[in-house]
Structure 1
Amino acid sequence: MYKTIIIEDEQRIREALSIMLEMVAQDQIQIIAYAESVEEAVKLIDRLKPDLVFMDIMLQNGTGFDVLKQISFNSFHLIFTTAYEQHAINAFKYSAIDYLLKPIDPDELKTAIERIALLQERVLEKQQLTELQQNLSKTPDRIILPTQEAMYVVKLEQILRCETSGSYTTFFLNDGRKIMVSKPLKNYEDLLEPPMFFRIHQSHLINVNSIVSYSREGMVHMNDKSVVPISRGKKEQFFKLMKEEN
């Protein structure tokens, strides 16, 4: 049972989220408090020490970031709720921070609860929050890759290619590092987009700037000496992209 605090300054949204939580996770969620302001949220989190916090970004007298900067207790799962558009949604994804888009969908809420159930005790890294704030104000140029060992902050230009196997994706970087994350490649495809990146195969996504050569037969040679196949369905699109690049 997750002791839960809802931080939201709109009453109708607080009520709607409470009802949905009772519908989709009655046996998992115990709502122990509500907060509308930054000050109230900070006091409640430090005093009640919740397991889970739902937090709106924009509050009455500040933001969710203000709350996170002031709290002493931070050993809880955090799910932001936001009405932001696609640019901001991508910012959350780049920063590897969980979010729900308003109006909140019950199925997505249920999935979010199931997702945190798979995690151990979680402390949100300050680096993630810093990246999120930066990404909300500009076009992201870095991505956070969460693994069991650490949170890796990687510049997009450092990524040579990605290779997926089942529900795991390995990022190959230009400094020789390999970072494996427990998410399939489809989770990153909308973040690593053309013209810099191209999904060349069901199992491969490459940085176009790291191509050394390619053949009409459908093989791409990368500057890490790897050879990546072009799927039959991607050939025409790939050759068109290469023509445009030249």
Structure 2
Amino acid sequence: MTAIIIEDMPQALAALQADLASFCPDVRIIGTAGGVVEAAKLLRDKQPDLLFLDIMLGDGTSFDILEIVPDIKSELIFITASDEFAVRAFRFAAVDYLLKPVDGELLKAAVGRAKARRGTQNTASLDLLKQTIRKPGELPDRISLHTSENIVVARISDIIRCEADSNNTRFIFDGGQKSVFVTKTLKHYEKLLDGHDFVRVHQSHLVNFRHVVEFKKIDSGYLRLTNGDEVPVASRKRGEVVELLR
């Protein structure tokens, strides 16, 4: 695979080049750039298989590059500093990212994922990432869900509940939308959706409390939701659920 690196810090650029040589020897670097203008000129002449993008550049951001050169077909891997909000934004958008300093094994894994999904870069996920990054004081109102077949960008308010299926998660939506099956754990989404009125009421169930209609006091309890589903409440969660409903 061919690659171009957009990075404005010489030390970080050299480190990434060395890591690619060590951990991804089948990746050939065909160009580098240190800013928006330089990158845009380079990408008009060359279209690599992989594009590594530092977010913050001296003359703008990597999103500016994507707007100037909108027909980029490369698989994108973003490089970011260890910023808690930025990391959360990447997780909401389900876009590949690496933290500085880059870990070699994680780099290898990211390149492997890029190979597997070659040609399926989703503009909706990138738009969601851009909006979330640019509004650090706001919780995102959408989430990007990658399935084995496609990428679904869904409104968080439309999610009624999430259900664990081994190490995978099934999303059930309002309005008769088809459920979505994602190969990430329920725990991952429990953390990600913190602050959006989602409550883990059972080992296998994460519920959007805005869709709760009724609490049935049978056994440890059941929640009836707006779509008619009934979800069991774990005995250790009963007190918390009752308090929230009050």
TM-score by length of 2: 0.87
Q: Larger deviation: 160-169 or 50-59?
A: 160-169
Name the counterpart of 2:2.
3
* Partners of 1:85 and 1:242 in 2: CA distance: 36
Q: Which 5+ residue runs of structure 1 have no aligned equivalent? A: none
Name the counterpart of 1:205.
206
Q: Return closer, same or farther for 1:166/1:47 CA change in 2, 3 Å cut-off.
A: farther
Question: What SS does structure 2 have at the residue aligned with 1:178?
Answer: coil
What is the correspondence of 1:215-226 to structure 2 with a 5 Å cutoff?
215=217, 217-218=219-220, 219-226=222-229
Name the counterpart of 1:46.
44
Tell whether the 8 Å contact from 1:46 to 1:72 is kept in structure 2 after alignment.
Answer: no
79, 91, 94: which one aligns with 2:92: 94
* Partners of 1:240 and 1:49 in 2: CA distance: 54
RMSD: 2.1
* Partners of 1:69 and 1:84 in 2: CA distance: 25
In the TM superposition, residue 173 of structure 1 has moved relative to its aligned partner by 1.2
Tell whether the 8 Å contact from 2:145 to 2:182 is kept in structure 1 after alignment.
Answer: no
Corresponding letter in the other structure for 1:10: M
Q: Return closer, same or farther for 1:193/1:72 CA change in 2, 3 Å cut-off.
A: closer
Question: What SS does structure 1 have at the residue aligned with 2:121?
Answer: coil
In the TM superposition, residue 204 of structure 1 has moved relative to its aligned partner by 2.0
* Partners of 1:87 and 1:72 in 2: CA distance: 26
Tell whether the 8 Å contact from 1:58 to 1:64 is kept in structure 2 after alignment.
Answer: yes
* Partners of 1:90 and 1:111 in 2: CA distance: 19
Following TM superposition, where does structure 1 have runs of at least 4 consecutive aligned residues deviating by more than 6 angstroms? none
TM-score by length of 1: 0.87
In the TM superposition, residue 230 of structure 1 has moved relative to its aligned partner by 2.9
Residue 192, structure 1, aligned to residue 193, structure 2: yes
Q: Return closer, same or farther for 1:156/1:182 CA change in 2, 3 Å cut-off.
A: closer
- Give the number of aligned pairs: 240
Q: Larger deviation: 73-82 or 107-116?
A: 107-116
* Partners of 2:35 and 2:145 in 1: CA distance: 32
In the TM superposition, residue 33 of structure 1 has moved relative to its aligned partner by 0.9
Tell whether the 8 Å contact from 2:172 to 2:179 is kept in structure 1 after alignment.
Answer: yes
Name the counterpart of 2:68.
70
* Partners of 1:206 and 1:59 in 2: CA distance: 40
* Partners of 1:67 and 1:172 in 2: CA distance: 36
* Partners of 2:121 and 2:240 in 1: CA distance: 45
* Partners of 1:62 and 1:99 in 2: CA distance: 19
Tell whether the 8 Å contact from 1:220 to 1:227 is kept in structure 2 after alignment.
Answer: yes
Q: Which 5+ residue runs of structure 2 have no aligned equivalent? A: none
Tell whether the 8 Å contact from 1:162 to 1:172 is kept in structure 2 after alignment.
Answer: yes
Name the counterpart of 1:116.
114
